[in-house]
Amino acid sequence: MAEMQNRNTRRDLLKNIFRGAGLLGLGGAVWGTAAEKLKASDIVLRPPGAILEEHFTKACIRCGICVEACPYNTLKLATVDGKAAVGTPYFEPRDIPCYMCTDVPCVPVCPSGALDPTELAGDDSGAVSSALDINKARMGVAVVDQEACVAYWGIQCDACYRACPLMGKAITLEFKRNERTGKHAFLEPVVHRDICTGCGLCQHACVTEKAAIFVLPRTIATGKVGEHYIKGWDKADEERLKNLKEEKAKKSSPEDVLNDWENLFDDD
């Protein structure tokens, strides 16, 4: 009888050991997933005034004060199962867009500088004391999927245009003759990225099952031309070309060539 009890005790002990090992393994897997989610995501929309994403995730202290300050429950704090770095604020326009509060309550309360008031300064000085201008927000850029947008089919729809708080500026309608019918016109929405705030009100209002207009982070939605492309009609760009030529001329001076040659053989 005593031998059987000892055998059962050893069996229970082994069960507990394996159970503990399993829990440790599960915990490691969960933490591994959490650690992966702690990393910055490229495709995530931040509140107004957010600094660059690569710096934002380092500056944000995950306090949630900006989320509490938002009167429309637009902002969320990312969880392990979310799309953004855990504990950081973000929003999903199709669900709840940014309603462009004129006092921008989410920005001034940020204690870490992750949301920078100078990004929304009402004047060009960038002074923190300046009144905030929500129209200067650059949360993202709206992009139109022309294949899915019914306005590009010829169906009269201007839902995104009318939902835009900067109607006629951030989104305009381009009128084109419908050659297929010969009687109607296309009213095609066009987004102007230099004015678009990325609020997502257009995406929220889109009538298609999956929004045909959607907001992406500016670093993803916008391209960048090389410095060698010059706008001949732009005086500022012409001046930039002149400066580039002067810099190139300086670098090609005999002194610079000699210095480059010496640096090539410099062991230091």
User: Percentage of the chain with pLDDT > 90?
Assistant: 53
176 and 190 belong to one structural domain: yes
110: confidence class by pLDDT, cuts 50, 70, 90: very high
Q: What is the DSSP letter of 195?
A: T
Determine contact, residues 202/196, Cβ cutoff 8 Å.
no
User: Percentage of the chain with pLDDT > 70?
Assistant: 73
Q: What is the mean pLDDT of residues 177-195?
A: 85
d(CA 180, CA 104): 46
Residue from 21, 22, 65 nearest 47 by CA: 65
151 and 68 belong to one structural domain: no
- Report if residue 14 sits inside a domain: no
Is residue 112 predicted with pLDDT exceeding 90? yes
Is residue 20 predicted with pLDDT exceeding 50? no
130 and 150 belong to one structural domain: no
pLDDT score of 40: 52
Inter-CA distances, 231 with 192, 224, 237, 240, 241, Å? 18, 14, 6, 10, 9
pLDDT in tens, 239-268: 887 777 777 776 665 565 555 555 545 555
158: confidence class by pLDDT, cuts 50, 70, 90: very high
- Report if residue 86 sits inside a domain: yes
pLDDT score of 216: 97
145 and 193 belong to one structural domain: yes
Determine contact, residues 67/75, Cβ cutoff 8 Å.
yes
Q: Which two tokens stand for residue 193?
A: 């990225």
pLDDT in tens, 207-234: 999 999 999 999 998 888 877 787 778 8
Residue from 65, 71, 106, 109 nearest 87 by CA: 65
36 and 133 belong to one structural domain: yes
pLDDT score of 249: 72
Name the residue range of residue 123's domain: 31-137
pLDDT in tens, 35-92: 444 555 668 999 999 999 999 999 999 999 999 999 999 999 999 877 789 999 999 9
**Which one has a higher pLDDT value, 185 or 125?**
185
Residue 174, domain CATH:
3.30.70.20
Bridge partner residues of 216 (DSSP) = 141
Least confident of 80-94, 96-110, 142-156: 80-94
- Report if residue 172 sits inside a domain: yes
pLDDT score of 246: 75
